[in-house]
């Protein structure tokens, strides 16, 4: 990972390198795991997970080198193959020319005026979210995962679909929560049951997908 503008990185190796130890930590609490790596190691960390080697980049210069300056030299593989099952061939899961084509298609959405509009929505929704938390009684417990999902769905509804239907948003939030939990458990499973098998969980998954797709079409086209 070298160029005229990119310094040579020093690669540190994660101390806990037993075969299943890092894997267990990542699966149990990925946010805590990555936080520990960020505070205890340098800008580039090598880690073994389930017998595979990964590099975690924590320096903005190196991240820019991979994602922007030299993006053609890095393909998305591994986990993106699994993500493609749930998200399709979108910007996040695409490579090469397909990624460039999709990136150009969404370029108008990143016009400065559009970004300014979306930023205002994010600020308004986040302000309301914080106000709601501040009004909770002292000692209240909050499911932060559900709360953040609610915030994100609210922002997406207003920013992308100009929709402020709170009742519809509430219903969509529970569906997305089910989909997220299903996808997380499916990706963590060592033995992955094919999604085409008519198991109860797979049937529910496909129904939820149809509900999401139908709802987004309704919002987008106003039908």
**Largest Cα span, the chain:** 56
Claim: this prediction has a pTM higher than 0.75: no
From 162, 156, 155, 204, select the one nearest 181 (Cα to Cα).
Answer: 204
3-state SS assignment for residue 52: strand
- The 3 state secondary structure assigned to 169-198 is HHHHHHHHHHHHHHHHHHHHCCCCCCCCCC
Domain locations in the chain as residue ranges: 1-74, 76-109, 111-221
Which helix (DSSP H) or strand (DSSP E) does residue 128 occupy? Answer: helix 112-134
Residue 57 above 70 pLDDT? yes
Distance CA 199, CA 195 (A): 8
pLDDT tens track for 116-169: 888 999 999 999 999 999 999 988 888 888 888 888 888 887 876 665 666 666
């Amino acid at each position: 990972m070298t160029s005229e503008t990119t310094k040579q990185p020093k690669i540190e190796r994660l101390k806990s390198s037993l075969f299943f130890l890092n894997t267990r930590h990542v699966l149990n609490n990925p946010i805590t795991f990555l936080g520990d790596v960020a505070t205890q190691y340098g800008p580039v960390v090598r880690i073994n997970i389930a017998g595979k080697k990964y590099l975690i980049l924590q320096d903005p210069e190196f991240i820019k080198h991979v994602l922007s300056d030299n993006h053609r030299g890095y393909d998305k593989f591994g986990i993106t193959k699994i993500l493609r099952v749930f998200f399709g061939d979108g910007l996040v899961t695409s490579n090469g020319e397909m990624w460039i084509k999709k990136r150009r298609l969404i370029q108008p959405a990143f016009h400065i005026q559009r970004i300014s509009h979306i930023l205002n929505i994010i600020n308004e929704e986040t302000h309301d979210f914080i106000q709601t938390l501040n009004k909770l009684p002292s000692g209240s417990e909050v499911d932060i995962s559900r709360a953040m999902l609610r915030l994100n769905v609210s922002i997406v509804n207003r920013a992308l679909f100009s929709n402020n239907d709170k009742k519809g948003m509430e219903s969509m939030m529970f569906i997305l929560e089910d989909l997220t939990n299903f996808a997380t458990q499916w990706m963590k499973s060592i033995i992955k049951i094919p999604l085409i098998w008519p198991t109860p969980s797979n049937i529910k998954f496909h129904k939820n997908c149809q509900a999401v797709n139908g709802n987004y079409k309704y919002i987008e086209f106003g039908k």
